[in-house]
Amino acid sequence: MNYRQTLPSTASVAHQEIDGRLNAPAAEKNAGSIVELTISNTPHSGKALEIASGTGQHIVQLATVLPNLIWQPSDVDKNRIKSIKAWSQHKNLMNLKVPCFLDATEAGWSENYSNFDFLLLVNLLHLISDDETRILIKEISKSLAPNGRALVYGPFMRDGALTSAGDKEFHQSLINADADIGYKNDTDILRIFDEFGLINLSVESMPANNLAFIFEKL
């Protein structure tokens, strides 16, 4: 069973379009800031992997504005993979590969997905357990090429505290659905990435009280 099947309805809201595309209002709302930050932190060319691409709305925009990067979308949900394919066909982008099934919480996935120059992870860590987070970060480190960068975006605690009413409500809905998931602490994330050889370059405040971490592999 993949993690999406155990989540409350508040964790992922998406509407079906006639042509098979899923449209998530939250993805559309946050896309501009994510794309802007990605542009300033990617290499001019190379290979890029997005983990948990979701509806596909982010990655088609990124592939459009960063045509010299070859983008590999992925997800664990077959309906999301169908949506990514539909978004890709709608845009007809030559640098956007066919989406693949990838459960990034499983140990060893980097053996088949390696030497990436850039990796993007949006809105996933609060949906998985602490143990799965450690596995994912370890595999991210293995999947990146030397000097490769990772951008990790989402809602986080600050020094162990939830800092808005909306975050408190959402976090509670997550742990009510599964006691092992929920918001991760920003300082814990920094420590785990450092443990696996990924150096934090910056932490950026983002819209809707989210954070974005930029890491680079030694």
What DSSP line would sit under the chain, residue for residue?
Answer: --GGGGS-GGG---EE-TTS-EE-HHHHHHHHHHHHHHHTTS-SSEEEEEES-TTSHHHHHHHHH-TTEEEEEEES-HHHHHHHHHHHHHHT-TTBPPPEE--TTSTTGGGTS--EEEEEEES-GGGS-HHHHHHHHHHHHHHEEEEEEEEEEE-EEBTTB--SHHHHHHHHHHHHH-TT-SPEEHHHHHHHHHHTTEEEEEEEEEGGGEEEEEEEE-
> Is residue 6 in some structural domain?
no
Neighbour count for residue 168 (Cβ, 10 Å): 13
> Is residue 44 in some structural domain?
yes
| CA–CA gap between residue 120 and residue 50 (Å, rounded) | 5
> Is residue 1 in some structural domain?
no
Give the pLDDT score at 90: 87
Which residues have C-beta within 8 Å of that of residue 169, sequence separation ≥ 6?
none
> Is residue 3 in some structural domain?
no
CB 31 within 8 A of CB 64: no
Boundaries of domain holding 65: 16-217
> Is residue 4 in some structural domain?
no
> Is residue 158 in some structural domain?
yes
Give the pLDDT score at 144: 98
pLDDT tens per residue, the chain (218 residues)? 455 455 555 555 666 666 778 987 766 777 899 999 999 999 999 999 999 999 999 999 999 999 999 999 999 999 999 999 999 988 889 999 999 999 999 999 999 999 999 999 999 999 999 999 999 999 999 999 999 999 999 999 999 999 999 999 999 999 999 999 999 999 999 999 999 999 999 999 999 999 999 999 98
Helix axes 130-143, 186-195, angle to 10 degrees: 40
For 68, phi and psi rounded to 5 degrees? -85, -5
> Is residue 142 in some structural domain?
yes
CB 110 within 8 A of CB 139: yes
pTM for this model (two decimals): 0.92
CB 174 within 8 A of CB 182: yes
Domain count, the chain: 1
Number of residues in the chain = 218
Give the pLDDT score at 182: 98
Neighbour count for residue 207 (Cβ, 10 Å): 10
> Is residue 33 in some structural domain?
yes
Which CATH number fits the domain that encloses residue 130? 3.40.50.150
| CA–CA gap between residue 169 and residue 108 (Å, rounded) | 34
